[in-house]
Amino acid sequence: MEKLRLKQTRIQRGFTQQQVADALPTDISNYCRKENGYVNITKAEWKRLASFLQVPEEEIYQENEATLNNTFFDNSSITNQNIGIPTAVFEHLLSYISLLKEENERLKSEMRRS
């Protein structure tokens, strides 16, 4: 479920996703997945977010219902599918996959220029 209260507060306060990601700290792709409801936000992260945005936690908090746990791998999403991988490990793997994709695109671009 998309975290609309968090997103609206961030925008109203004039912060970019990158600025909020830096405050957590996490990378922007992981923060984007959190804000869009694909990855759960921990209790500690909710506290950091509220502190950074200078609002009460209750003003931005919404229940975690990460949607990545509902479908198997397809070309549009990656999910845990309750296969016993701890959430923190799964989130780390998703971040690493994202970094690998970026590096792959960078290398492809370099090869085209050569």
Residue 42 DSSP SS3: coil
Identify the CATH number of the domain in which residue 58 sits. 1.10.260.40
Is the alpha carbon torsion for 28, 30, 31, 32 positive or negative? positive
What pLDDT, on a 0 to 100 scale, did the predictor assign at position 74?
Answer: 41
CB 51, CB 66: distance < 8 Å: no
Domain total for the chain? 1
Q: The whole model's pTM is what? A: 0.56
Mean pLDDT by 10 residues, the chain (114 residues): 90 95 93 89 93 95 63 44 67 86 90 86
Residues in the chain: 114
Burial, 105: exposed, middle or buried (Cβ in 10 Å; 0-12, 13-18, 19+)?
exposed
Domain that holds residue 44: 4-113
